[in-house]
Every structure is written in C-alpha cells, then in structure tokens.
Amino acid sequence: MHDVTYTYPEAEQPALVDVQLQVPEGAWVLLQGPTGSGKSTLLKCLTGACPEFYGGRLAGRVTVAGFDTAAWSPAQRAAAIGYVAQDPEAVAVYDVVEREVAFALENLGVPRSEMAWRVAEALEMVGLSAHARDSVETLSGGARQRLALAGALVHQPRVLLLDEPASQLDPVAADELLDCLQRLHQDFGLTLLIAEHRLDALYPRVDTVAYLEAGRIRKTAPPQEMAEWLREERPDQVPLLARLFPEHAPVLTVHAVRQRLAEAVSPRPTAAAEAAEAAEAAAPRSATDAAGFAGAEPIRTERVRVHYRGARDAALDRLTATIARNRLTAVIGPNGSGKTTLLRVLAGLQPPDGGRVVWPGRAGGRLRVGYLPQKPSDLFSQLTIRDELAYGLELQGVPRRDAAARVADAALRFDLTSQMERSPRDVSGGEQVRVAIASLWLTSPDILLLDEPTRGLDAAQKRGLGEMLAGLEGVTVVLVTHDLEFVAEHAGQVLFLYRGEVVLSGAPKQVFDKALAFAPLFARAFRGVDPSVHCLSDAVRAGWGR
C-alpha cells in the first residue's frame, strides 16, 4: 500500500491516513490496534470493497505483485486475493459444504473439470473433507470459519486476508483455526494478513506486526521488537505474557516463560514475594468464604435435568450447584457441556425436565433476571442508544420523566454520555456490550446472566468490562465464557461443567491449580514455580510483571 488514504462516504474524517505497508511474498503480518483503528478498513481497501462496494474516496495506490489493483476487474481481484470475514454464519451462500467452497470458482468461470480437485484440496487443507456433503448449518462455529477459509483458498489466491476470523470462536476453535493458518503459511508459503485481538496466540506465529492507531500505521516490526516498543509506548496493548520480566526482553510463549523461570533470570524478589503472600492472604478470592454465602442467601440448582427432544444425551444431567450472591460466577467447560443451557434455565427460558432452581426470596417477588446473549446487538431494536436504554423502562411502565432521569444516570455510570445519539449497532464491540449491560441494569436485575461477553473484545475493552461488572453492587453475575484469563482476573467463583454436571467448582485459584487445559496462560506458565500466580494482576503483585 502506497500512501493510501481512505474516507467512507459521508464521513468527515478519513478512516485510513497515509498508510504505507509492504508485505513480502510468503510473509505473515498481524495488524494490531485498538478497536476502530482502521484494521478492517485496511483489509477492505486491499480486497477492493473500499471504495468499489462501500463508495467513498481512496487516494494512493494498492498493488499486489506489482499490479495496481484499481486497474483490475472484480474477477481479477477475487482471483488474486482471498478474504475471510469476522462472522462465518453470515457469509454462507449455499447449503452444502462443497458447493459453498466452490462458489468463488463458479464466479471466476473455472471449468467444471477443474473444480472437483480444487474443492477437494481446499477442504483437505482445512480438515473438512469428511463434511463435504454436509449441510453448512450442521457445522460448529469453528468448522464454519474453516469452511470460510476453504472458500477463500479454493482458487489459490496470492494473498489471504483475514478480518478477526477468531473473534466469534471459542478458544479451542480459535486455536484450531490459527494452527490451520500456520500450516498454510509454513507448508504452502501463503502470504497472510490478519487483523486479530488474540495477541498471545498470534505473536509467536507471525513474521511481522503492524500497529495501527487512528487510521495510521505507527510502527511495523517483528513481534519481539514490537512487544518491546509496546511495553514502552502503549503498555495496555502489550500481549499478556510480554508483560512479564519487564527488565528483560519480552517473552511470547508459555514455554519461553517457563524456560526463563527455570534459568532464574528473574528470581522472585523477596520483598515482592512477602507482599504477594500478604495480599493473597487478604484477598477475598475464595468462593466458599463467608462473603459470598453468608452475606446473602445463594441461588441453588438441585438435580436439574434438561433433555432436548431428539438429543442422545441430557444437556444438564442432575446438575447441582450453588451460586454465590453478589459476586461474579464463571461457568467454564468444553463445548456442549451444558453451559448455555444452565444460563437459559436460570433465565427462566428453559424449564427443567427434572429438579429445581431454588431462588432466594426478594421483597416484592422472585429475583429479576437480565440476560445478555452472545451477540449483544440482538438486544438492540432502537435507533439511538438513548432510546435503547429507555426502552426496557418504558415497557415496564416507568413514567417518561423518571425514565429519562434514570437513563441519564446510567449513561454517566457506564460512560456512554458522548454516544447517546449514535445507533447502538454502529458502536464498537466493547461499547455494544456496555450499552446492552446498561440497558439490562436499568431494569434493576438481581442476577445478570452473560453469555460469552468477552467475545471479540480487545484487551482494553475486556479490562473495562471486568471493572464495570465489579462495580455493579448488589447484582449477582453469572457468565459463561471460554476466556480463562478474564475468569482468573475477575471471577469470585468458577463452575466447571462437563456432560451436564458440575465436575469441579470453587474459587478460581482452587480450580486453576487443578486444571491443566482449562487453566489460564499465567497458571500454566507459573505451575510448579509460583502457585500464587493465575493472572496478570497476580504476576504483578508477585513482582513478576508490570
């Protein structure tokens, strides 16, 4: 990209400003930056969607292999560039997997005799050969994203662009996808540009990182050098592991952290260790401590059973759990273990086939529940954030004047005052979560149920979400998540589900001391060295990081 400046139609400010980026053939480049920094727009300029599809003004030149893409027809661009979007569910055209993969070939007019082997190769590359005749609808989220990848690879493009391809996936599926990309990069020499927030997973894999901010590329460097620069210039954007050992070169993998610990390059400072032990002793981190259970009567599920019609196994199988009030309980476990079903039972959306949920009494009736779905925008129906916040109150019959005052209060509390006249669907992912939680909070819930609220959020947004949830006094939060770093950092109690029952529970420390695969990065890195470290704040407290 040579001095590319792009402005969306009717926008006052350009989304990209003087972008200069050179990607050598066969390189893997990570586009990093806060939400709204222009990563997606940069990729859209490369695909030609900006300005051909979106309109707007583009200055500068985009070239692929020395050819100016502006002079290319859409077919020529499609032949040279493969593109994978964020949401795999929204981009499927056909119903059958192999037909969906062949879509680009059909568009490019590839002869029928050439199609079959190309489709077979693309499916094999992403590990979906066994699903060639399946319906796209029957695939899991991870498999659907790999299908999108196969669809982008089938015509053997020179460059593959990926716009937050793992943002809608759980960590297991995301790792599978990134492994797949690594193979494509290493074994087939494909040139890759990826915009993504999973920095810890990508830093060890990519060749180069380009950091964007406000539409400009601030720095382009290899991962190690970039991590060092970020530590000095943008500390909130540093990958988690690179925050350790601040006096030394950044480490990017769990293996490297363990090696450094073994070599005792950075022995644990005695004063810091003492402070850490004192802080640990003082911290109310145990779910079984007095604060959770004695302060307010807990919510209990007793032998709850849910069996969906036609399913072989029960989604919840005599699940018994105690959920502490007024704190954050995280529900973790593999896919299909019954996490979302438990949330639906607590929300009252799924009546149990057996057992019961014991709700503590509340003055004036049963507990009020707020439910945040995986996609917060599903809750939005109004044109502005102000109307969106007011909607729930109006439906509850709150007088308009009172509603306006409460909406203003919520806007202040959730830091939405400057966004009130914007559409809730146009703001960033983190802001959408904030709007959704604010609108639920306005209806005075006693218990807030959140389904994968950190999906697609960058590090700063996750931290903001954690602080916001911690600030909800008197509200019990139950969240289903695969984000174990978030759980270790913010949860007070963890329920580990497997095949519809709770197989492990307790405070994060208790659970993550035992679990291996279901443990956050820091717990894995410090296992056997410093058992007090489970998350970044633990590491900072113990003097390992900054």
Residue of the chain from 258, 268, 285, 425 that contacts other proteins (CB under 8 A): 425
Residue of the chain from 20, 135, 320, 417 that contacts other proteins (CB under 8 A): 135
Q: Is 347 in the site for other proteins (CB under 8 A)?
A: yes
Q: Is 56 in the site for other proteins (CB under 8 A)?
A: no
CA distances from 76 to 108, 118, 304, 394 (A): 9, 18, 57, 53
Cβ atoms of 21 and 220 closer than 8 Å:
yes
CA atoms in the 13 A half-sphere facing the CB of 47: 20
**Binding residues for other proteins restricted to 500-539, rule: CB under 8 A:** none
C-alpha span between 159 and 28 (Å, rounded): 10
Q: Is 180 in the site for other proteins (CB under 8 A)?
A: yes
C-alpha span between 450 and 544 (Å, rounded): 32
Nearer to other proteins, 74 or 399 (CB): 74
Residue of the chain from 7, 37, 47, 476 that contacts other proteins (CB under 8 A): 47
C-alpha closest to that of 47 among 201, 195, 203, 185: 195
Cβ atoms of 298 and 267 closer than 8 Å:
no
Q: Is 422 in the site for other proteins (CB under 8 A)?
A: no
Instruction: Name the minimum Å distance from CB 45 to other proteins.
Output: 12
C-alpha span between 384 and 391 (Å, rounded): 11
**Binding residues for other proteins restricted to 359-378, rule: CB under 8 A:** 368-371, 373, 377-378
Cβ atoms of 357 and 322 closer than 8 Å:
no
Using the contact rule CB under 8 A, the part of the chain among 6-14, 165-173, 198-206, 395-403 near other proteins is: 395-403
Cβ atoms of 334 and 520 closer than 8 Å:
no
Residue of the chain from 112, 117, 271, 364 that contacts other proteins (CB under 8 A): 112
Q: Is 49 in the site for other proteins (CB under 8 A)?
A: yes
Binding mask 246-285 for other proteins (x = CB under 8 A): ----------------------------------------
Instruction: Name the minimum Å distance from CB 171 to other proteins.
Output: 18
**Binding residues for other proteins restricted to 200-229, rule: CB under 8 A:** none
**Binding residues for other proteins restricted to 72-101, rule: CB under 8 A:** 73-75, 77-79, 81, 83, 85, 87, 90-96, 98-99
Count CB neighbours of 513 within 10 A.
14
The DSSP element (H or E) to which 84 belongs, if any, is strand 81-84
Using the contact rule CB under 8 A, the part of the chain among 42-50, 191-199, 226-234, 244-252 near other proteins is: 42-50
Nearer to other proteins, 91 or 416 (CB): 91
Q: Is 151 in the site for other proteins (CB under 8 A)?
A: yes
Instruction: Name the minimum Å distance from CB 249 to other proteins.
Output: 34
Using the contact rule CB under 8 A, the part of the chain among 59-67, 70-78, 202-210, 267-275 near other proteins is: 70-78
Segments of 324-393 assigned E as strands: 328-332, 354-358, 369-372
Residue of the chain from 186, 381, 400, 412 that contacts other proteins (CB under 8 A): 381
C-alpha span between 153 and 126 (Å, rounded): 10
Nearer to other proteins, 62 or 494 (CB): 62
Nearer to other proteins, 77 or 205 (CB): 77
C-alpha span between 519 and 538 (Å, rounded): 14
Q: For residue 398, what are the contacts with CB-CB under 8 A and spacing of at least 6? A: 406
Using the contact rule CB under 8 A, the part of the chain among 106-114, 220-228, 472-480, 522-530 near other proteins is: 106-114
Instruction: Name the minimum Å distance from CB 443 to other proteins.
Output: 7
Using the contact rule CB under 8 A, the part of the chain among 215-223, 391-399, 464-472, 518-526 near other proteins is: 391-399
Instruction: Name the minimum Å distance from CB 424 to other proteins.
Output: 10
Cβ atoms of 43 and 86 closer than 8 Å:
no
Binding mask 115-134 for other proteins (x = CB under 8 A): xx--x---xxxxxxxx--x-
Instruction: Name the minimum Å distance from CB 359 to other proteins.
Output: 13
Nearer to other proteins, 131 or 534 (CB): 131
Nearer to other proteins, 74 or 267 (CB): 74
Instruction: Name the minimum Å distance from CB 247 to other proteins.
Output: 41
> Site for other proteins (CB under 8 A): how many residues?
78
In this structure, what DSSP letter does residue 362 have? B
DSSP 267-320: PPPHHHHHHHHHHHHHS---TTSHHHHHHSPPEEEEEEEE--TT-SS-SEEEEE
Binding mask 307-336 for other proteins (x = CB under 8 A): --xx--------------------------
Instruction: Name the minimum Å distance from CB 194 to other proteins.
Output: 16
3-class DSSP assignment, residue 525: helix
Instruction: Name the minimum Å distance from CB 192 to other proteins.
Output: 16
Residue of the chain from 191, 340, 439, 476 that contacts other proteins (CB under 8 A): 439
C-alpha closest to that of 448 among 469, 430, 433, 431: 469
Nearer to other proteins, 143 or 525 (CB): 143
Q: Is 70 in the site for other proteins (CB under 8 A)?
A: no
Q: Is 349 in the site for other proteins (CB under 8 A)?
A: yes
Q: For 374-384, b where at least 16 C-beta lie within 10 A, e where not — what string?
A: ebbeebbebee
C-alpha span between 129 and 173 (Å, rounded): 17
C-alpha span between 136 and 148 (Å, rounded): 10
Phi, psi of 102 (to 5 degrees): -80, 0
Q: Is 167 in the site for other proteins (CB under 8 A)?
A: no
Q: For residue 394, what are the contacts with CB-CB under 8 A and spacing of at least 6? A: 400, 403
